[in-house]
Amino acid sequence: MTFKQTVTTTILFCTTIVFANCTSTAEMIKSGNTAAVIQKINDGANPNDVSDCETPLEAAAATGNKELVQLLLSKGANPNIRGKDCDYENTMSIGGLVLHHEEYVRDKFTPLSFVADVATAKLLVDAGANVKIGGYRYNNHQRTGFTYYRSPLYNAIHNGKYDLAKFLIEKGANVNQYDPKTGANVFETMLTSDKKNKAALSFFSYLKSKGLKNLDLSKSALKKIENKTYPSYRHIAGGHETSMPENLFEAAYKEPERVSNRTFCAEEKEYFHYQEFEWTESGQNLAEWIVQRRAATNTLEKPKK
């Protein structure tokens, strides 16, 4: 039974009187029932509830409900709380004709991930939200293949919220993120695909002024990491180190195309995306390292033009 089926079954057995008690806080926030949410929170509902696909703070931030964001934070909501692993489906159809259908999995998203606007983002950042951490997605429900990193900056740019993106960059967001299949800078790909979109092209120029660059995949760059072994890596956000078992490092080094781009954080006892880690010894980002290893083993795909 899937998570959504479980929720539906639960709701069917709830009466109208106790509906608010059996509906998750996040779902109530998304439905726009602010008064009921405030009452529920003031009555002691857990501000860090992770039973739903989104946390209450993530839902409030995504809707731009600053009143609820402030209330949740005042009640102890963690501004860096991670959402749970959930299946999603999107279908686009006209008159019963399916034009597009996709299945994917989202995991580890934060309240900043889909924040609605700059003002709401500022509330979160002032409360300690880290712009350098984000979620990831699998492009299937089987959770196979690569995971694709989705930082708050990625989502802001993808949704054309360039004022929000600038705010995140000012707070330290990384402007370099690379496609695990091709090695291309994902921000360059997004912003230059439509040559008629002047706003996107202008923002691309801004990103270049802030340090956006292509990953060095030259022979000399690949030579620098050849035959080098790294025994540990560090979570950039918290600074905590995790040991890398020799056999796992060897597997990633020799067959980088088989790596999903997730790794374990010993401090938090969770798996996060490579983008959030760096090798302790060299300081190189793990996501960049694995792309370079794919280039060295000729397992990168050519970017689509």
Q: Is residue 162 part of a domain?
A: yes
Residue 143 lies in a domain: yes
- Find out whether 57 and 111 touch, Cβ atoms under 8 Å: yes
Tell whether 34 and 162 lie within a shared domain.
yes
Q: What is the mean pLDDT of residues 7-17?
A: 28
Does 23 share its domain with 137? yes
Q: With 60 as the cut, is the pLDDT of residue 220 above it?
A: yes
| Number of domains within the chain | 2
134 and 253 inside one domain: no
The residue among 302 and 264 whose pLDDT is bigger is: 264
Dihedral (CA of 168, 159, 91, 63) sign: positive
- Position 206 in a domain: no
Domain match, 9 and 142 both: yes
Same domain, yes or no: 9 and 116: yes
pLDDT for residue 149:
98
- Residue 83: CATH number of its domain: 1.25.40.20
Would residue 181 count as lying in a domain?
A: no
Residue 22 has pLDDT above 70, yes or no: no
pLDDT band at 305 (very low <50, low <70, confident <90, very high): low
Clarify whether residues 164 and 292 are in a common domain. Answer: no
User: What's the domain range around 88?
Assistant: 3-173
- Confidence band, pLDDT 50/70/90 cuts, at residue 35: very high
Domain boundary residue, one of 148, 173, 198: 173
CA distance 102 to 226: 38
* pLDDT-based confidence at residue 249 (cuts at 50, 70, 90): very high
pLDDT(15) > 90: no
Whether residue 168 is found in the same domain as residue 237: no
| End-of-domain residue from the set 138, 153, 173 | 173
Q: What is the mean pLDDT of the chain?
A: 92
pLDDT digits (tens, 9 = 90+) for 112-130: 999 999 999 999 999 999 9
**112 in a structural domain:** yes
Residues 74 and 135 in one domain: yes
Is residue 218 situated within a structural domain? Answer: no
From its phi and psi, is residue 243 left (phi > 0), alpha (psi between -120 and 50) or beta? beta
Provide the pLDDT confidence category of residue 62 given band limits of 50, 70 and 90. very high
- Residues 167, 235 share a domain: no
Tens of pLDDT, residue by residue over 136-162, are 999 999 999 999 999 999 999 999 999
Q: Are residues 106 and 239 in the same domain?
A: no
Q: Within this chain, do residues 167 and 233 fall inside the same structural domain, yes or no?
A: no
What is the reported pLDDT for 304? Answer: 75
For range 233-240, the mean pLDDT: 95
Do 14 and 128 lie in one domain? The reply is yes
Q: Are 136 and 107 in contact (CB under 8 A)?
A: yes
pLDDT at 16: 26
Q: Percentage of the chain with pLDDT > 90?
A: 89
Binning the chain into helix, strand and coil, the percentages to the nearest 5 are 40, 15, 45
Higher-confidence residue of 58 and 96: namely 58
Would residue 139 count as lying in a domain? yes
Residue 301 lies in a domain: no
Between 12-21, 46-55, 226-235, 271-280, the lowest mean confidence (pLDDT) is in 12-21
